[in-house]
Structure 1
């Protein structure tokens, strides 16, 4: 496995395996230079296919790739997959790999404390506000107290500029969210997407929350960032259950 890929720093059960790719390595050329795994961003399809083939060598099976739409649908990856238009997936099946693609939005990986179910969710501010994380936990069919979450690399609080309307929408739903916004210039705020995610999770009883320290915007050599570059690639956040024995 590429030594630069991130392994979640959480005390998950031994059956739970997860990592997050970076842009290091890969076959893509500028502006996608590196290990771009997004097949919807304008990169050469042959390069993306080569990158995904390389990723596959580190996995027990082909990931369940989603068509992400900034919504809150959670795909049951163990069922009859008629449509992959979703922003999260959940599985209880061994070696079924859940994956989300990001380049500033927040990837969140989930598992239960027993190691029987895992999920991966993609959440920008729209997904957070709409209830993406809450929907993912609900799809795990567990109380929040039995869930562990890891917040992956996303645009950091020092770079995520949003307007009054975004701040107002979060505060209207959860007044404590005001603490995640810092005044920047007239009508604009700097938002802490990791803090907003923690608040949303804690509200439904998820207190085992880890990660949240990596900023995609400020590390161009390591991470893709849509807000920074516009045309860019995507990283993958992946999680699965290892087969017993």
Structure 2
């Protein structure tokens, strides 16, 4: 455990014009209890780390955010299921979660996939979505916005740390999955000229395009790369590794 564990410096706070009572942040790999290769602030209970370490790491994360409620954690399956946050301590299956309730955080975990946090201009609802390429292609962001129950034009989105466009190589079938249904997404793919049939995909740009198509234009963040920045866990870089948590809540 590092000295940063007792400081908010182990967290990254969303830089966006959300209402003051909406709080949003993402953990890094700094400041927890887990040994290598999960060192040290691992939030994932499904990656091989000790369950006791994960419990302590999650408790520290909530403590740093001055939250007393556990919030809604998910078993993520790269789908589009959006669940409502409950204060019963149960982990629910889904890839997005929303809440209208104060001090009840919504949480998603990632280690290269894209976390997207949402609120509206009034801060009446918050949501968090886990978006790998499969979830993006299937419409997890669009479904999350629809479930929030507010006008898309009033929605603000913040994109947390994900793998960068120069590191995320995918096959041609991934590009086709997007472009056949949404031709505008072609601009988010760059051919890998050294590997025939492969492309570099920009998750941030894919999210911006897909959100824009449904009327969400207030999109922020997107300046990270989990593969290059060793503050973050990266599945593609390390294989066996931990998970960051991206969390949003209404503070009252």
Instruction: Could you tell me which runs of 5 or more consecutive residues in structure 1 were left unpaired when the two chains were aligned.
Output: none
- Out of 96, 101, 109, the residue aligned to residue 93 of structure 1 is 101
Alignment length, in residue pairs?
242
Q: Alignment partner for residue 189 of structure 1, among 184, 191, 199?
A: 199
Find the aligned partners of 1:64 and 1:219 in 2 and give their Cα distance.
Answer: 27
**Alpha-carbon distance in structure 2 between the residues aligned to 1:59 and 1:76:** 22
How big is each residue's C-alpha offset from its partner over 1:43-78, in whole Å with a ceiling of 9 and x where there is no partner?
A: 011211221121121242212111111110100115
Match of 2:244 among 232, 235, 238: 235
Normalising by structure 1, we get a TM-score of: 0.95
Shift of 1:83: 6.8
Q: TM-score, normalised by structure 2?
A: 0.93
Q: Match for residue 18 of structure 1? A: 24
Note if 1:219 corresponds to 2:229: yes
Unaligned runs of 5+ in 2: 1-6
Does the 8 A contact of 2:10 with 2:31 survive in 1?
Answer: no
Deviations 1:113-163 (A, max 9, x none): 001100000000000000000000001011210100001100000100000
C-alpha contact 2:71 2:85 (8 A) present in aligned 1: no
Write the distance in 2 (CA, Å) between the matches of 1:134 and 1:91. Answer: 16
Distance of 1:238 and 1:190 partners within structure 2: 28
Report the equivalent of 1:36: 42
Instruction: Give the corresponding residue for 1:206.
Output: 216
SS in 2 for 1:10: coil
Q: CA RMSD in A?
A: 1.5
SS of equivalent residue, structure 2 residue 174 = helix
Distance in 2, matches of 1:239 and 1:76, equals: 13
* Cα distance in 2, alignment partners of residues 79 and 45 from structure 1: 21
